Amino acid sequence: MSWWEPGAEGAEDAEGVQDAERQTQLLRTRITRRLIDAVRDVPPASVPQALCRACVSLLPDVSGLSLSVLGRKAGMGVVLFASDGMAAQLAEIQYTLGEGPCTDAVRLRAPVFASDLTRAPDALRWPLFCVQAARAGAEAVFSVPLTAGASVLGTLDLYQGTPGPLDDEQVPTALLVADALSLAVTALDRTRNVSGSDGVVTWLKGAESDRVEIHQATGVIMVHLGVDAEEALLRLRARAFAQGTTSLDVARSIIDGSLDIRHE
């Protein structure tokens, strides 16, 4: 059958689809093997950083990346790993402000790419985050949700120091890395406490210790100001934004007594 005969175009399209699927499967296999090899025989406490190094090797053209997992309460996330301080700061800024690509990716259960934080439409979509991100030195942020069924486990967040979209190779790689990380998060051993509450991934306990400080500080605010937990957390975030710092830094200041919030 020549290319111009009936059905030729459809056959070529089908072959193209099959070829694309094969390429995707090969890339998925390569990513999965890289992550498996990265954590092989690694102690549980070292798994996050091992995964981080593997992700950096798979996405070498971005400036940095981080993986955040969601806490039990809405708006509470844990930075499981970050390739550098800026990647960690960008994630923390979004949780502090409650806006940004990662919060939208969680809400929409879909990738959210912001290729230029200094211009519309991104600068109008997240005005507070964009100002803080640009001040930190990031001009493009890309967030991919980690999903398991109908649930969102967290986000894989990438950033670039200069504006511009991810290229055609980076996009499928980022999506497949997020898929593989979703499996990694759900596949690791889980434990249940005596009361039978929701399981906790054992190797996240160390990362959750930072959030314990935020919960402690929230409790202090509740006692001193006579407010509920939700308002206490909002006040902590507001103070962090006003000071141009993170919720974690403010929490630590409240706990060690260097910040007196009784006259808020």
* Average pLDDT score over residue span 68-90: 80
Q: Which CATH class, in words, describes the domain spanning 21-188?
A: alpha beta
* Average pLDDT score over residue span 76-95: 87
Q: What is the pLDDT of residue 197?
A: 39
State the first-to-last Cα distance of the chain, in angstroms, to the nearest integer: 80
Q: What is the pLDDT of residue 72?
A: 59
Report d(CA 52, CA 66) in Å as an integer. 8
Report d(CA 241, CA 121) in Å as an integer. 23
More confident residue, 108 or 1: 108
Q: What is the pLDDT of residue 202?
A: 54
* Average pLDDT score over residue span 44-59: 88
Q: How confident is the model at residue 131 (pLDDT cuts 50, 70, 90)?
A: very high
**Any idea where the domains of the chain sit in the sequence?**
21-188, 200-255
Residues near 178 by Cβ (< 8 Å), separated by ≥ 6?
A: 144, 145, 146, 156
* Fold agreement (21-188, 200-255): no
The pLDDT tens digits for 230-246 are 778 778 877 876 676 77
* Average pLDDT score over residue span 112-131: 95
pLDDT at 204 over 50: yes
* Average pLDDT score over residue span 212-216: 81
DSSP character string of 32-75: HHHHHHHHTT--GGGHHHHHHHHHHHHSTTSSEEEEEEE-SSTT
What is the Cβ-side half-sphere exposure of residue 97, based on CA atoms within 13 angstroms? 25
Whether 101 contacts 126, CB under 8 Å: yes
Residues near 109 by Cβ (< 8 Å), separated by ≥ 6?
A: 145, 147, 152
Q: What is the pLDDT of residue 10?
A: 59
More confident residue, 156 or 96: 156
- Alpha-carbon distance values, 89 to 64, 77, 86, 128 (Å): 11, 13, 5, 14
- Residue 93 burial (CB count, 10 A): 26
Fold classified for 200-255: Arc Repressor Mutant, subunit A (1.10.10)
Whether 113 contacts 101, CB under 8 Å: yes
